[in-house]
Each structure stands twice: as C-alpha cells, then as structure tokens.
Structure 1
Amino acid sequence: MTTPYQYFSDENQHGNYQYVSLKEIIDNMLFEATDDDSYLKNIKRFRLFHYALQAIKEANKSTANDILAFEITVPDNLVVIVPQDYVNYVRVSVVVLDASNGGFYLQPLDINENISTAVGYLQDHKGEILFDENGGILTADSLNGYAKPYKKYSIPSGCSGSTAKTSQLSKYGQFKVDERAGKFLFSSDLTDKEVVIEYVSDGLQAGLREEEITVHKYLQKAIEDFIYHACIERKRNVPANEKLRASNLYKSSLHKAKMARANFDLMQIAKSL
C-alpha cells in the first residue's frame, strides 16, 4: 500500500488513487473464475480483455465527464488532426496573454459552420461526373477548407461604410470540426497560435496495454458487470434467469455510476442562476 509520503513524493502517482487499471480489473475477474461453480471458469484472458474494451467505451459514452485536453500550435494549413481516442469536443480555445499580469488564459473560439468541408466531385469538360475503374466517384478537396484554407479578415474599429454584421465577426478566431475526416479547421488569424482542444475520450487514450488503460473507480463495478454479462450471454449452459440477472445488474451499476459521476454542484448552479 502506498504511504502518503510516497504518494506526494512521486509525481507519477498524483491523482492515480481515483483510477484503477484495466489489468487489475481483469486479474480480479480471473481470480473469481477459479471457483468451481463460476460461470467464468476456464475463461481466456484475451476474451476478458476484448469485452473490457467494449465495456470501457460503453461506460464512457454514458457517464464520461472526465475531459481531456491538449495544446497545439495551429500549422500553416490551419488543420489539426483529432486524437485517436476522440469522441466529441467540449471546447476549443486560443491561449491569450494577459497584459495586466503576464499570465495566460483560455479564450473560447467561435464555431464557424461556413468553413467548407464538402468533398468535390471531379467532372469532365461537359460537366459529367468522373468515375474510377471500380465505379466509384472521383473526388478532390476542390474549394473546401483543406485546399483553400479559410481566410479571416478583420475590420478596423470605427470603419464606416461596412455592411458586415457584428454577429458574424469573431475577435479571437474561428474553427470548425470535420468529424468524418477527423480534423479541426481553423481561420487564418490563428496561424502559429497556441490552441487548447478539450474533448471527451472513449477511455482508451493510453493505448492497448492493460496496465496503461485506466478507468475511474466509480466505473469499475459497471465495467465488471458488463464483462460478466457479455461472457455468459451466449453460453448455452448458463440459465436464462442468470443471464437476466447479469443484465439487470449491469444496468443498475451503470445507473449508479452515472449518478456518482454527475457532479451536481448546487453552489455553481446557484451562481449560474
């Protein structure tokens, strides 16, 4: 057991107490499978690992409020690739210098749906769509944000004669997420600037090694119940009532995990109101 001194002295352990590794979960289930009357008897580790990955994805999809974030410099092509474990973005911000104290803070960016991510169909001189040898349509980036990065122009304050709507202007920059392509597109005024992307992960951000994949302890019971139900669901020697019990047990533990991870802050709600 880790002592308080060891915890505070080792930076790698900071915050680890609230998480449990996938390896530990699988080891616990394999230990239970050693009982002669266990329906998991003779279960293979690779099968538990397979179901565990599914369980983590399902649990995080339902209960995730553990937001990950990374900082990156916007390149010249104004395109940033989403992380491999990306599910959905929460907030995209630019890092801004606070001139009053020399510190930095995050300024949320505006989303601009007018940045084109449409795929262009190739056509011949008669306007007919071109196809490849397999019958698929030939495509190109054409005039979208990948081929023609979105240029943003600023209008000086006090400039007269402008017809631009102030609601369409953004002081700090704009972005759009192309989820199908797995990329963020930014406006030209963000070139070479630092942006922070906060996003929801599928829980597998650490790779596929058991000891590197961690889940919050609130989710441990739900994940174990999911694995157990998945293991016995198609077994012919397991009674139907046991399968139903396992299914209901998973739903119950997942509901409890949702409530535990909801993080209702009455004081914050009161401030917002």
Structure 2
Amino acid sequence: MLIQNTAGTTTYGTVKQILTTTTFTCTITVQIPPAQTALVFKFAEPYSEAGNIITVNSYLIANSYIKIQLIESAIENNHGEYAYTRLTDVIDNFLIAYVGAGKLIPSVKRTDVIFHARRGLQEFSYDTLKSVKSTELTVPSTLSLAIPQDYVNYVKASWVDELGVLHIIYPTDNLNQSPYYTFTQDDEGKPIQDGFDSNTEVTSQTNATWDKTNPRYISGGFNNDLNNANVLDRNYTDGALGQRYGLEPQTSQKNGWFKIDERKGTFSFTSNLANKLILLQYVSDGNAYDLDSRIPKLAEEALYAYIIYSILSVSTGIQEYIVRRFKQEKSAKLRNAKIRLSNLKLDQIVQVMRGKSKWIKH
C-alpha cells in the first residue's frame, strides 16, 4: 500500500504492516512535509483480475458501489452477442440433456461429442449459417495478398470506387493460372537437381508475364474508362457504346482479374488494381477459433439433432429405424434453421416487386 499526498503526485513511502485500523508500520522514503499535510493510502494495484473474477485490493465500506467499465473492444464484442451461443456451451448442454442413464445414449466420450459438434458446425457453415466473412484490403504494388487464415473458399472479390460502389473482380479461369512447380531444366528439358537430390526451381515466367500485362489488351477497354459508378459522368467514347460487336463476353469487362496461387497461399491481381481498395468476401467453416466458435441460437436445435444422429449412426446395438428417425429429424431441423436464418422480410420483398410489371397490394 502506498502513502501519497491527496493529489497523488508524490509517494512518501509504503505501508509495511497494519497493526490495527488506526495503527500502521510504514517505510518512509521521502520526507513528509510538516503538519497540515493530508495523506492518503492507495494500493499500487487497486484491483486484480483472474478467471473473470475481479478482486479489489482495498477496504470498502458496507453498501459501497463499484463501477466496472469494459474496454472498447470488449464492449464491441458484446454487441449482438446474445443472438449466439458458444460451441463449448452446446457440447456441455448436449452431454446434460441427451446423455445418461435411461436415455437413448447412455454414455459417450466428450471427445466424440466435440468431434461431431465441430463437423456439424463445419457442414452448417457451407450452406446454412452466416459464414460469409469479408475483409477490406488495399492491393499493394506486388499485386498479391495473403489468403485469410480461416479461408475455405471465396465468394466474391470487388474493388471500391470513389463513390463506395463495388465492382466485381472476376477470376482468370482459363486466361491464366499460377504454376505449382517451376523446375529448372537442362537442354533436354529434364529437371535439374541440387546436391540433396531435390529439384531446383526458378521464378515463374507465367506469373511475371501476367503481372505486367495491361488488362485493356484483353478486355478491349477504352483508355479513359470511368473509375466510379457515377452515371452522370460522360466522355467522348459514349458515342461508341453499344457499337462494338464481336467481343468475347467473358473478357469484356474493365474491373480486372484475380487468381489464387495455391502454392504461395495468395490472391494475385492484375496491374490495373494496384493500390486500389478491395473487398474480399469468403466462406469460413467456423472452426478457426477452436471451441470458442459461435452458433446462432436459431440453428442450435439443428446442431443438437446433427450430433445425436451422428453418434447413433456409428453406435452398435441401435436399431436401424431409430437411426432413420433421427436422420429425418436432423434434416427437418436443418431445413427449419435455413428458413429462420434466411431472414426474409415481407416488406423488403414487396419493395423489390414494386419494380415489376405486376403490382402487389398489401
């Protein structure tokens, strides 16, 4: 415990021992000024936290109130948190509600439940849960960006113009692909090996040539293509719009291309996207953060059904009709979860349909 002045600007020493509520043994390191100097006693660390338990290192008067303020990141993480439940809670709840004496599953290892729960989360993430993530990145001069750690498959890549409008970046598909191996070859075309009998490699010429290619030579775009979605922008090329016949639709776009280098684990973009802001949307399987993963409460019951069916289907002594019953229950609850998570709103559907030829009254 520290001995300080009321302003807390000067520390005179520390309390060595507390004899009574009014008697202390102190170690003074700085001379205390003469009389009429008010002193306060403070703990060097007012509180400590361990295991979500806060211990206050002070004597508090009865009925005292303590205000605990969360840091900004913790507050943000709590917003919307009630709509989800943790995977570890799902596992605990399953062991309590579905496993035990007199139940269809008398006993099961926790590790088995964890495995099936994570497999269920993985399968749900592909077509049921809100598993599409997005990240905002700037394409560097190297034209390559690392694939996100929890990436499974891409949904869409877009660059952002000055109006904030997204422009889809298309995959190269059959235009170009990154080679996985780039062996050094001798005059006969055979790979050259080093002293450890390993094939030596060189820099990919395919990637180098593609990186310096001007995408306009492929798309046939104008030199002064618009960089935003402003329909009021006009230029002298407007007179040529709609008059360029014979173009290949697959390549007739000005947004650029991207490809995935599986070996390096990167996204590669064409040169016209250098220093542009892009939005990368991708699918994750929900298992990147171990048992701390979140499950929407709207799909919690479907996950229970998936776990119980998965366990029964590999257990011995379970009649086939029971397995089929829980398989049907799993499918039904998964279908219900998809409907719940689709988040369809009638007023939004009506608003879209108002642009159609047939009016819908409501």
TM-score, normalised relative to structure 1: 0.75
Aligned to 1:86: 151
Aligned match of 1:176 in 240, 254, 259? 259
Aligned to 1:196: 279
2:223 aligned with 1:156, yes or no? yes
SS in 1 for 2:342: coil
2:90 aligned with 1:30, yes or no? no
CA distance in 1, matches of 2:317, 2:126: 32
- Give the C-alpha shift of residue 174 in structure 1: 2.6
CA distance in 2, matches of 1:197, 1:181: 18
CA distance in 1, matches of 2:195, 2:298: 53
Shifted more, 233-242 versus 244-253: the winner is: 233-242
The change in CA–CA distance for 1:132 and 1:235 in structure 2 (over 3 A counts) is farther
Aligned match of 1:117 in 175, 178, 182? 178
CA distance in 1, matches of 2:312, 2:182: 49
Which structure has the bigger radius of gyration?
Answer: 2
- 1:72-151 residue pairs with structure 2 within 5 A? 72-98=137-163, 104-113=164-173, 114-120=175-181, 122=183, 123-128=185-190, 142-145=204-207, 149-151=211-213
Aligned match of 1:225 in 305, 319, 323? 305
2:84 aligned with 1:19, yes or no? yes
- Give the C-alpha shift of residue 257 in structure 1: 1.9
Shifted more, 178-187 versus 249-258: the winner is: 178-187
CA deviations on 1:192-222 (whole Å, 9 max, x unpaired) are: 33211012221224x11x2x20122222122
CA deviations on 1:131-171 (whole Å, 9 max, x unpaired) are: 89999987665223378635335553479xxxx95964644
Aligned to 2:316: 236
- Give the C-alpha shift of residue 34 in structure 1: 5.3
The change in CA–CA distance for 1:165 and 1:235 in structure 2 (over 3 A counts) is closer
Aligned to 1:247: 327
Aligned to 1:101: none
- Alpha carbons 1:21, 1:215 under 8 Å: kept: yes
- Give the C-alpha shift of residue 117 in structure 1: 1.7
- Higher relative contact order, structure no. (Cα contacts within 8 Å, ≥ 6 residues apart): 1
CA distance in 1, matches of 2:271, 2:307: 47
The change in CA–CA distance for 1:190 and 1:234 in structure 2 (over 3 A counts) is same
CA distance in 1, matches of 2:194, 2:87: 45
SS in 2 for 1:189: helix
- Give the C-alpha shift of residue 106 in structure 1: 3.0
Q: CA RMSD in A?
A: 3.6
The change in CA–CA distance for 1:34 and 1:119 in structure 2 (over 3 A counts) is closer
Mark the runs of 5 or more structure 1 residues left unpaired by the alignment.
1-5, 99-103
CA deviations on 1:171-207 (whole Å, 9 max, x unpaired) are: 44332345686432101122233211012221224x1
The change in CA–CA distance for 1:20 and 1:174 in structure 2 (over 3 A counts) is same
| Residue type at the aligned position of 2:161 | V
CA deviations on 1:8-51 (whole Å, 9 max, x unpaired) are: x9432222222221012111111124531124333222221111
CA distance in 2, matches of 1:183, 1:175: 10
CA distance in 2, matches of 1:91, 1:190: 15
Shifted more, 131-140 versus 237-246: the winner is: 131-140
The change in CA–CA distance for 1:132 and 1:71 in structure 2 (over 3 A counts) is same
Aligned to 2:350: 267
- Alpha carbons 2:180, 2:262 under 8 Å: kept: no
| Residue type at the aligned position of 2:187 | H
CA distance in 2, matches of 1:258, 1:153: 41
CA distance in 1, matches of 2:280, 2:351: 24
| Residue type at the aligned position of 1:116 | Q
| Residue type at the aligned position of 2:328 | N
Could you tell me the percent identity over the aligned residues? 25
- Alpha carbons 1:119, 1:142 under 8 Å: kept: no
SS in 2 for 1:176: strand
Mark the runs of 5 or more structure 2 residues left unpaired by the alignment.
1-69, 217-221, 225-235, 238-245, 357-362
SS in 1 for 2:100: coil
| Residue type at the aligned position of 2:158 | S
The change in CA–CA distance for 1:268 and 1:147 in structure 2 (over 3 A counts) is farther
The change in CA–CA distance for 1:11 and 1:177 in structure 2 (over 3 A counts) is same
Aligned to 2:105: 40
